[in-house]
């Protein structure tokens, strides 16, 4: 900060108190503190209580019994495997569509601006709305998407959402679809930052399109791709809305991911203690999953 | 790139060769134009395929239930009947009002609070600045689902469950971290010298913030407010956990409620989807440019 500002600041601090930074940051810190940090700590406290609304009105510390209950339940492990499949599936759908999409939109034409604006719509449309739109697209009687999938032999007569084998992946498709715009835009920004001189140099050295994609574009895009996959993967790991609205985890438990289990433990079983333990476990699990991915992507760059 | 433009070789003086050259460039220009049209077509088709579920929803909202169920994709009868029918239901205008109030209040508070802290973080050097920064961004790292149980338990104890005030408070965390981040990026691009000059000329620090910084920051403020609004407008799980009374339901909850009641009428449910998503889409189109370009500057060094 320059001398003039510091001098002026000194004068006005005395007159108005206008340069005390804590006046500026305190409101935001109170909000984050009360609505994020404090609940996080309170949740950890609750997870050590095994508090159930059926048996007691107030939480009491009971050590790790809530964790023991959650971890000894085989349903938890099934749901964990399903959540990992869900997370990986979502990110794969996002990458497979977003990479070619970004490459296509990186070529500047008269419609590029409009198209880039419009493809963001799924990303900002509320989950509830998307859920019902897809619910009818998948409908066994009149859903056009179901008709198409049935024609190519992917699904049977009824909606894939009612099938124990198809429910999970048919929601993964929606989950991935919603994340595509975000990844596309991030990739597009990176693609635009690659200097054209690199491609010119490449073509002088005799590199074809495929070669220059593999040895120029891909290495330069990879850090963004890695970082975005972590962001989108974490988001997918904590999913709830889509699955809850479409199947509530069913049929049976064939689409129950951990977010669904947490909600059911809290509301259906009325066990805040166990639900808090599950929440804490999910936080730890995400950390365990993120660290190796981050390490792998940062090593490459 | 002024130098390269100046250094470009001028056209050769010989008339014949100039003629050839012109013909050649116009040919390659034609080819390039054709290529561009082809790419533009591919981009449009790709976007339409990608947006098909949304397009289908908009079209279905204008059609009678019977026509949608027939499986025929081309609309034959088009009307606004579904929307009329929708607004005759009491829960719909009420939910619209509830969502608008919650989203408006939470987004304005988020913008105010995050502007102040982003300003302090980018303009003041103070003990605890790094800590403050980390603390505010921690909000982004802690997933909503992890703190859902403690928040609902605490809100019930505080009497904030099943109340619009409670839901507004709970929605404050949705946009705050990203707002601080975006505003800080914007502030970094506004030269400090402008405020220094104002302060030297006798303006107070707060005066400089209001008269110099905020007007320059306006596009970012609009973008951040709109984005927080969008997040609150569509938020589902906290609303589902907090709100139980029908007349306090927000739009996402009401859509679910309506579907349970009128699940048979596809047109009405899709019309509700349009009612919820159209304001958000329009709002986003306004801020899209500043939002996308900000994502862009994040990726470009220098």
More confident residue, B65 or B179: B179
B183 touches chain A (CB under 8 A): no
Same domain assignment for residues A85 and A231: yes
Q: Give me A232's structure tokens.
A: 């989108």
What is the pLDDT averaged over residues A242-267? Answer: 92
Average pLDDT, chain B: 83
Chain B residues 106-145 within an 8 A CB cutoff of chain A: 112-114, 116-117, 119-121, 123-126, 129, 132, 135-136, 138-139, 142-145
Cβ contact, residue pair A36, B241, below 8 Å: no
Domain harbouring A120, CATH code? 1.10.3720.10
Distance (Å) from the alpha carbon of B50 to chain A's nearest alpha carbon: 7
More confident residue, A166 or A293: A166
Same domain assignment for residues A18 and A143: no
Same domain assignment for residues A15 and A156: no
More confident residue, B228 or B3: B228
pLDDT of amino acid A180: 95
pLDDT of amino acid B21: 53
Query: Which chain B residues contact residue A115 at CB under 8 A?
Result: 43-44, 46-47
Residue pair A123/B231 in contact by the 8 Å Cβ criterion: no
**Quick check: A298 pLDDT over 70?**
no
| Residue A62: inside a domain | no
Same domain assignment for residues A110 and A210: yes
Q: Give me A269's structure tokens.
A: 């079983």
Same domain assignment for residues A100 and A10: no
What is the pLDDT averaged over residues A87-98? Answer: 95
| Residue among A9, A110, A128 whose CB faces B205 most closely | A9
Cβ contact, residue pair B43, A144, below 8 Å: no
Contacts of B46 (CB under 8 A, 6+ apart): A101, A104, A115
pLDDT of amino acid B290: 66
**Lowest-confidence range among A54-58, B11-15, B298-302?**
B298-302
B255 touches chain A (CB under 8 A): yes
pLDDT of amino acid B10: 41
pLDDT in tens, B183-210: 988 888 888 888 888 888 888 878 888 8
Closest CA to A279 of A43, A36, A71: A43
pLDDT of amino acid A299: 57
Same domain assignment for residues A31 and A101: no
Distance (Å) from the alpha carbon of B252 to chain A's nearest alpha carbon: 6
pLDDT in tens, B89-108: 888 999 999 999 999 999 99
**Lowest-confidence range among A14-18, A48-52, B234-238?**
A14-18
| Residue A186: inside a domain | yes
Same domain assignment for residues A37 and A86: no
Average pLDDT, chain A: 86
| Residue A54: inside a domain | no
**Lowest-confidence range among A224-228, B271-275, B293-297?**
B293-297
CB atoms within 10 A of CB B32: 10
Chain B residue nearest residue A104, CA to CA: B43
| Residue A55: inside a domain | no
Report the distance separating Cα A286 and Cα A267, nearest Å: 23
**Quick check: B237 pLDDT over 70?**
yes
User: In this structure, which CATH number among 3.30.230.10, 1.10.3720.10, 1.10.260.30, 3.40.50.150 belongs to the domain B81-299?
Assistant: 1.10.3720.10
Q: How many domains does chain A have?
A: 2
Cβ contact, residue pair B195, A5, below 8 Å: yes
Distance (Å) from the alpha carbon of B60 to chain A's nearest alpha carbon: 9
| Residue A57: inside a domain | no
What is the pLDDT averaged over residues A114-142? Answer: 91
pLDDT in tens, A32-44: 999 999 999 999 9
| Residue A223: inside a domain | yes
**Lowest-confidence range among A91-105, A124-138, A240-254, B205-219?**
B205-219
Same domain assignment for residues A261 and A173: yes
B165 touches chain A (CB under 8 A): no
Q: Which of B205, B252, B255, B283 to mutate to test the interface with A (most CBs of A within 10 A)?
A: B205
pLDDT in tens, B74-88: 777 888 888 988 888
Q: How confident is the model at residue B19 (pLDDT cuts 50, 70, 90)?
A: low
Q: How confident is the model at residue B2 (pLDDT cuts 50, 70, 90)?
A: very low
Cβ contact, residue pair A4, B196, below 8 Å: yes
| Residue A227: inside a domain | yes
Distance (Å) from the alpha carbon of B99 to chain A's nearest alpha carbon: 13
Cβ contact, residue pair B153, A21, below 8 Å: no
Same domain assignment for residues A233 and A111: yes
| Residue A256: inside a domain | yes
Phi and psi at A39, nearest 5°, equal: -60, -35
Q: Which of A133, A174, A194, A200 to mutate to test the interface with B (most CBs of B within 10 A)?
A: A133
A183 touches chain B (CB under 8 A): no
Same domain assignment for residues A117 and A175: yes
pLDDT of amino acid B292: 61
Distance (Å) from the alpha carbon of B11 to chain A's nearest alpha carbon: 24
Q: How confident is the model at residue A223 (pLDDT cuts 50, 70, 90)?
A: confident
**Quick check: A256 pLDDT over 60?**
yes
Q: Give residue A15's domain range.
A: 3-47
| Residue among B44, B123, B205 whose CB faces A12 most closely | B205
Report the distance separating Cα B182 and Cα B78, nearest Å: 43
More confident residue, B10 or A119: A119
Same domain assignment for residues A134 and A206: yes
pLDDT of amino acid A18: 62
Report the distance separating Cα B141 and Cα A162, nearest Å: 34
- ipTM for this prediction: 0.86
């Amino acid at each position: 900060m320059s001398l003039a500002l510091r001098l002026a600041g000194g004068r006005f601090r005395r007159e108005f108190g206008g340069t005390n930074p804590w006046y500026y940051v305190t409101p935001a810190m109170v909000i984050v503190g009360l609505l994020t940090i404090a609940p996080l700590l309170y949740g950890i406290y609750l997870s050590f209580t095994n508090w159930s609304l059926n048996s007691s009105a107030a939480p009491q510390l009971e050590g790790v019994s809530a964790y023991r209950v959650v971890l000894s339940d085989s349903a938890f492990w099934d749901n964990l495997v399903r959540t990992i499949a869900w997370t990986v599936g979502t990110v794969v759908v996002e990458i497979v569509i977003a990479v070619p999409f970004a490459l296509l939109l990186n070529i500047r034409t008269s419609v590029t601006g409009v198209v880039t604006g419009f493809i963001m719509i799924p990303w900002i449309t509320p989950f509830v709305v998307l859920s019902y739109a897809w619910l009818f697209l998948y409908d066994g009687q009149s859903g056009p998407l179901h008709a198409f999938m049935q024609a190519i032999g992917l699904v049977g007569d009824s909606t894939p959402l009612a099938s124990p084998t198809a429910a999970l992946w048919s929601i993964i498709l929606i989950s991935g679809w919603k994340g595509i715009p975000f990844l596309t835009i991030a990739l597009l920004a990176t693609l635009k930052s690659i200097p054209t001189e690199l491609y010119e140099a490449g073509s002088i050295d005799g590199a074809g399109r495929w070669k220059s994609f593999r040895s120029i574009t891909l290495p330069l895009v990879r850090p963004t791709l890695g970082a975005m996959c972590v962001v989108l993967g974490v988001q997918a790991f904590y999913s709830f809305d889509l699955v809850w609205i479409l199947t509530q985890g069913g049929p049976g438990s064939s689409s129950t991911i951990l977010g669904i289990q947490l909600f059911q433990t809290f509301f259906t079983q009325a066990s805040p203690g166990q639900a808090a333990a599950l929440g804490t476990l999910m936080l730890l699990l995400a950390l365990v999953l993120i660290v190796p991915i981050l390490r792998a992507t940062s090593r490459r760059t | 790139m002024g130098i390269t433009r100046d250094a470009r070789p001028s056209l050769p003086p010989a008339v014949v060769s100039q003629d050839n050259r012109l013909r050649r460039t116009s040919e390659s220009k034609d080819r390039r134009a054709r290529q561009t049209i082809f790419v533009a077509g591919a981009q449009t088709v790709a976007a339409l395929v990608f947006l098909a579920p949304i397009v289908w929803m908009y079209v279905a909202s204008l059609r009678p239930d019977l026509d949608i169920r027939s499986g025929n994709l081309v609309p034959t009868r088009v009307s606004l009947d579904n929307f009329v029918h929708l607004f005759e239901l009491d829960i719909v205008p009420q939910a619209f009002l509830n969502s608008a109030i919650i989203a408006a209040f939470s987004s304005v508070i988020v913008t105010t609070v995050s502007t102040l802290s982003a300003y302090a973080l980018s303009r003041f050097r103070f003990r605890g600045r790094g800590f403050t920064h980390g603390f505010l961004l921690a909000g982004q790292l802690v997933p909503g689902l992890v703190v859902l149980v403690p928040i609902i338990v605490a809100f019930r104890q505080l009497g904030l469950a099943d109340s619009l005030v409670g839901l507004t408070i709970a929605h404050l965390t949705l946009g705050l971290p990203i707002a601080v981040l975006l505003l800080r990026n914007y502030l970094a691009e506004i030269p400090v010298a402008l405020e220094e000059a104002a302060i030297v000329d006798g303006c107070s620090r707060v005066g400089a913030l209001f008269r110099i910084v905020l007007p320059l920051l306006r596009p970012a403020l609009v973008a951040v407010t709109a984005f927080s609004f969008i997040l609150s407008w569509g938020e589902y799980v906290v609303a589902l956990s907090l709100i139980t009374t029908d007349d306090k339901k927000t739009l996402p909850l009401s859509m679910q409620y309506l579907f349970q009641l009128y699940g048979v009428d596809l047109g009405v449910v899709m019309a509700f989807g349009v009612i919820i998503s159209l304001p958000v889409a329009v709002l986003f189109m306004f801020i899209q440019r500043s939002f996308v370009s900000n994502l862009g500057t994040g990726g470009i060094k220098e």
